[in-house]
């Protein structure tokens, strides 16, 4: 996965690129796809994932299967974290 972080609209000091990669590659990440289809073949996702250092991150990104462009990233809210933990418990 090639991560595109050019002209991001969030602070890369708060969420490091390596943390984004880890959260996006989390095998237990929860991903949501909006209902709209795009002409260019890219898909937009919302993801709840966890880093190796146990940091819980929400991210919104577009991908065409080769390149991933992160649009937003932040810490999960309390509700998002509980949802992630419930889904994680279902996988184990």
Extents of the domains making up the chain: 2-91
Per-residue pLDDT of the chain (92 residues; tens, 9 = 90+): 788 888 787 888 889 989 999 999 999 999 887 666 666 666 788 999 999 999 999 999 888 778 888 988 999 999 999 999 999 898 76
Report the relative pairing of strands 2-4 and 30-32 from DSSP bridges. unpaired
Q: What is the pLDDT of residue 9?
A: 78
Task: At 85, list the tokens.
Answer: 């933990």
CB 84 within 8 A of CB 32: no
- Residue with tokens 């996965």, as numbered in its chain: 1
Full-prediction pTM beyond 0.95?
Answer: no
Report the relative pairing of strands 56-63 and 30-32 from DSSP bridges. unpaired
Q: What is the pLDDT of residue 27?
A: 92
């Amino acid at each position: 996965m090639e991560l595109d972080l050019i002209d991001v609209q969030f602070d890369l000091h708060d969420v490091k690129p390596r943390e984004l990669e880890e959260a996006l590659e989390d095998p237990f990440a929860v991903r949501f796809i909006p209902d709209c289809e795009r002409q260019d073949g890219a898909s937009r996702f919302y993801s709840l994932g966890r880093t190796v250092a146990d940091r819980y991150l929400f991210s919104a990104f577009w991908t065409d299967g080769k390149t991933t462009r992160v649009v937003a990233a932040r810490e999960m809210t309390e509700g998002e974290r509980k949802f992630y933990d419930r889904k994680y418990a279902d996988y184990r």
